[in-house]
Amino acid sequence: MIELFLSAFITLFVVIDPPGCAPIYASLTTGASVQERRSMAARAVVIAAGILLLFAFVGRPLLHVLGIGLDAFRIAGGIMLFFIALEMVFERRTQRRESRAKKIEETPEVEDVSVFPMAMPMIAGPGSIATIMLLMAQAQGGVQRGMVLGALALNLLLMLGSLLLAGPLMRLVGERIEAVITRVLGVLLAALAVQFVLDGVRGAFMTP
């Protein structure tokens, strides 16, 4: 059970990426007061949690209605996560996030960034939605699903903490250390993604 929790936690941590969202949030809320930053951070995490929980519980029935097998979803999810990992290793994901944040900053009428872009797509994006659906589909029984949901809750709490401490955190970590951490996590995610694909292929060929 501990292995399942750790695997789910690490996978979600790499995909949701709380440390990577901190500098983006800091740049988006430069002109906001401390209270406004806290309010937007809490609202962003709550909205993202609602989106991810919706797909966590509705994802498997949705696959059944669409006629998509679990093994096919494992393979597709693994491929998607692998591309995310490549973007992390080569810093394309960070560049895309910074570009998106810059566009928001250049739009003066946009003040509340809690829904867009923070809650979605930065926290509850395609990668995290696919990941929580995949992990919940793989979990068997209420205990394992509880482990996955616990890993998700812990990651969302870490996200909230990183957003609340975005300014001091960025001054402490620095851009270079953040880039190194992102690349290491990208390599780890690539290995997990390949494992998802292998499990899907193995399951597809072993199914009578």
Taking the model in full, what pTM does it have? 0.73
Residue 88 has pLDDT above 90, yes or no: no
**What is the per-residue pLDDT across 27-75, written as a single tens digit (0 to 9) for each?**
777 677 888 889 999 999 999 999 999 999 998 788 788 888 878 877 8
How far apart are the C-alpha atoms of 20 and 178, rounded to whole Å? 8
**101-129 residue pLDDT tens:** 666 655 554 458 898 878 987 899 777 88
Residue ranges per structural domain of the chain: 2-9+22-202
**pLDDT (tens digit per residue) in 129-188:** 888 998 998 888 899 999 999 999 999 999 999 999 887 776 676 667 767 777 787 787
CB 149 within 8 A of CB 26: no
CA of 13: how far to CAs of 46, 60, 70, 151, in Å? 17, 22, 23, 9
Task: Report residue 96: phi and psi, to 5°.
Answer: -65, -40
